[in-house]
Chain A
Amino acid sequence: MELYIHFPFCRKKCAYCDFTSYANCSEALVFSYLTALKREITFAGERFPNAVIDTVYLGGGTPSLMTPREIESLFNKLRSAFKHFGPSEVSVEVNPESATDEVLSAFRDAGVNRVSMGVQSLSDDNLRSVGRVHDAATARAAAARIAKNFDNFSLDIIVGLPYDTPQLVREEVGEVGELAPHVSVYELTLEEGTPLACAVAEDRVWLPSDDEVAEYMDIAADVLSRGGIERYEVSNFAKRGFECRHNLGYWTREEYLGLGAGAHSLVKTDAEGKALGAEIRFASPKDLNAYIGGINCVDAFDDVPRADMQVLTEADIRTERIMLGLRTREGIEEELLAGRDFGRVERFLKRGGGRVSLTDEGIAVMNSVLAEII
Chain B
Amino acid sequence: MKISKFNIALVGLGLVAPLVLYPVFLMKVLCFALFASAFNLLLGFVGLLSFGHAVFLGTGGYITGYLMMNTGITPELGILAGTAAAAILGAVYGKLAVKREGIYFAMVTLALAQLMFFVYLQAPFTGGEDGLQGVPRGELFGFIDLSDNMNMYYFVFAIFLAGFWLINRTVHSPFGQVLKAIRENEARATSLGYNVNDYKWVAFVISAALAGMAGSTKTLVFQLASLTDVHWHMSGEVVLMTLLGGMGTIFGPFVGAATIVSIQNFLSGGELGNYIHIIMGIIFIVCVLAFRSGIVGEIQKVIKRNFS
The yes or no verdict on A and B being binding partners is no
Which residues of B line the A interface, CB within 8 A? none
A contacts, CB < 8 Å to B? none
